[in-house]
Amino acid sequence: MESYQIFTDATADLSDSLMEQVPSVEMIPMPVEIGGSEYTYSPVGNISVKKFYELQRNGSFASTSQINPAVYFECFVPYLRQGKDIIYLCFSSGMSGTIQSANLCIEELRQEFPERKIICIDTLCASVGEGFLVREAARKQAEGLTLNELANWVMEHRLQVCHWFTIDTLEHLRHGGRISSAAAAMGTVLQIKPLLHVDEQGCLQVKEKPRGRKRAIAAQLAKMEQGWNPETGKLVLIGHGDNLEAAQQLSMKTAEQFSDAEIYISNIGPIIGAHTGPDMLALIYWGNNR
């Protein structure tokens, strides 16, 4: 049987429960800066999700940067030397230039290991949406898909991963320059909880501006009602920015409305959390309203 390893980056926020009973996926660490200190985020990194949001809640703002090409070499080379091929499912090019760094590294590795296949795919997904696609790809690997078959499957299905996010505070969008100070101030006064989604170019877009968390959650569920396609898969992923209680409430409402859904809850980590702040909620599903 063809031997290949799936890689993704720490943006994907894969949880242990989500990845049970599927082949292991290697996670490439990513840098994050908060409160004047630099950290590495990954399952073996030096900042936890809890610590990151604690710093944000205490008034610190965060920023992220692309993966250094040297990190890709460190992650990929051991597998290539073992005779394994690689498929890397990368953070959306609509939000980061990470894929450019990856491709620079991969071109060099193809020359050094000409007998190996190295495939890099722009998932056009982010955070737990990226993790959703990666998990389903690992499931397909377990079913016996070859490397090329899996690459084709990912390309065919990546735009069917529907992401609907609601955020609790506008301060981090303001700090990152994604909205103006005036818009942030007005939105805070009106208790706007923006409903965002990832579009077909892999960019994060504001779609609606519900007032209050209850209406924001109702808007998320309405989007799933409009577009869910359980024939593709029944996995539903709920992500949260260090607010498990809110995620469990959304999970309960989702289960009531969609009884066939296979629901998992995952943390939203620092890479997306840097821009959205604590208490974010995400609803991810297979659908046709990307």
Query: Could you read off the pLDDT of 46-99 as tens digits, one per residue?
Result: 999 999 999 999 999 999 999 999 999 999 999 999 999 999 999 999 999 999
Q: H or E element: which one contains 111?
A: helix 98-112
Backbone angles phi, psi at 134, to 5 degrees: -65, -45
Q: What's the total number of domains in the chain?
A: 2
Looking at the structure, tell me whether residues 142 and 257 fall in a common domain.
no
What percent of the chain is modeled with pLDDT above 70? 92
Domain hosting residue 96, numbered range: 4-158
Which residue shows structure tokens 């994604």? 178
Identify any residues that bridge with 186 across adjacent strands, giving them in sequence order: none
- Report the distance separating Cα 79 and Cα 100, nearest Å: 21
Q: Is 70 exceeded by the pLDDT of residue 21?
A: yes
Does 236 lie in the same domain as 224? yes
pLDDT reading at 137 higher than 60: yes
Asked whether residue 167 falls in the same domain as residue 211, the answer is: yes
DSSP code of residue 277:
-
Positive or negative CA dihedral for 45, 50, 51, 54?
A: positive
- When pLDDT is averaged across residues 196-214 and rounded to a whole number, the result is 88
Within this chain, do residues 225 and 97 fall inside the same structural domain, yes or no?
Answer: no
- Run of H or E residues at 119: strand 118-122
Which of 44, 134, 145 has the alpha carbon at shortest distance from 85? Answer: 145
Which CATH number is 164's domain given? 3.30.1180.10
Domain boundary among 158, 182, 216: 158
170 and 114 within one domain: no
| Of the listed ranges 132-136, 202-206, 253-257, the one predicted with least confidence | 202-206
From 158, 174, 202, the end of a domain falls on: 158
> Do 138 and 209 have their domain in common?
no
pLDDT score of 108: 96
Considering the domain architecture, whether residues 43 and 132 belong to the same structural domain is answered as: yes
Report the percentage of the chain scoring pLDDT > 90: 80
Same domain, 149 and 206: no
In a shared domain, residues 37 and 77? yes
Are 143 and 15 members of one domain? yes
Domain boundary among 158, 182, 203: 158
Same domain, 144 and 165: no
Alpha-carbon gap, residue 175 to 25, rounded angstroms = 33
Domain identity same for 14 and 90: yes
Residue 19: count of CB within 10 angstroms of its CB:
17
Query: CATH number for the domain including 58?
Result: 3.40.50.10170
**pTM for the model:** 0.92
